[in-house]
Amino acid sequence: MKRDFLTLWDLSSEEVDTLLKRAGEMKSGIDANKCPLIGKSIGLLFEKASTRTRVSFEVGIYQLGAHPIYLNPNEIQLGRGETIPDTARTLSRYLNAVVIRTFGHDLLDKFASCSSIPVINGLSDLHHPCQALGDLMTILEKKGRLKDIHIAYIGDGNNVANSLIEAASLMGMNITIACPEGYEPDPDVLERARASAKSEIIILREPKEAAGRADVIYTDVWVSMGQEKESEEKKKRLKNYQINSNILSCAKKDVVVLHCLPAHRGEEITDEVMDGPHSAIFDQAENRLHVQKALLEMLLAKDS
């Protein structure tokens, strides 16, 4: 039976543990010559431009022995009025899985409901679960554990924040979101995460207060792709939520700084912090490759 990966909650905590272990093996070079997905073809349907998601998936798919096929919506019939269900049913006859990077999460839900092959969320406006898997791998590498880790997410409560909350609820981490009023994470995500009772989830306004207990400080761009019209107002509201040396001074001495990239240096994070000794940002970017390979193997290798 096919499985989709649209949010972190599509995996159990035990499956996440297994996936992270496997990703670590892949990163270390174990089975480097093994091609568990040889002969398979995986589509990359991207409505949004990308650096890390596209390159990490294309490279990972190739390293697993499969063939990546990049699909620009403007170059297939979906961009000329073909329905999502018709596109999903057709691609299911050609491909073994599809990674979708899009705006509205409803497109992913509709595509997955009509597809007979696994659908992986490469990013939507509501969730970024592959990024969260890379985040978990990086935290585990740097801290040696996930349980009871304190994350301070400072900035816009966007899709990255939503998936971090889901990750915390699954893996027993604690997360504090510092954001201006009106920029909180999705209320449905918060409600479900808090119902799990595995972690402490706090929303507050003061960045320094959030940083005070932090093992990990995380931020993201203030204006995401597709939100350019509201950029000036949003930047004004978020100007006090920059990750800088002043914020870092409030955190633990061994705090780790994360950012999902791309970064707008000088806005949500300073050069000093991004390039400083606490930063694990580029390890985090690399780990997208390894966790996505482990995810693809988990979803597809049993069909080999």
Residues known to be catalytic: 101, 128, 131, 220, 260, 288
Residues 148 and 288: their CA atoms lie apart, in Å, by 23
Burial profile 71-90: b = 16 or more Cβ within 10 angstroms, e = fewer: bebeeeebeeeeebeebbee
Amino acid identity at 302: K
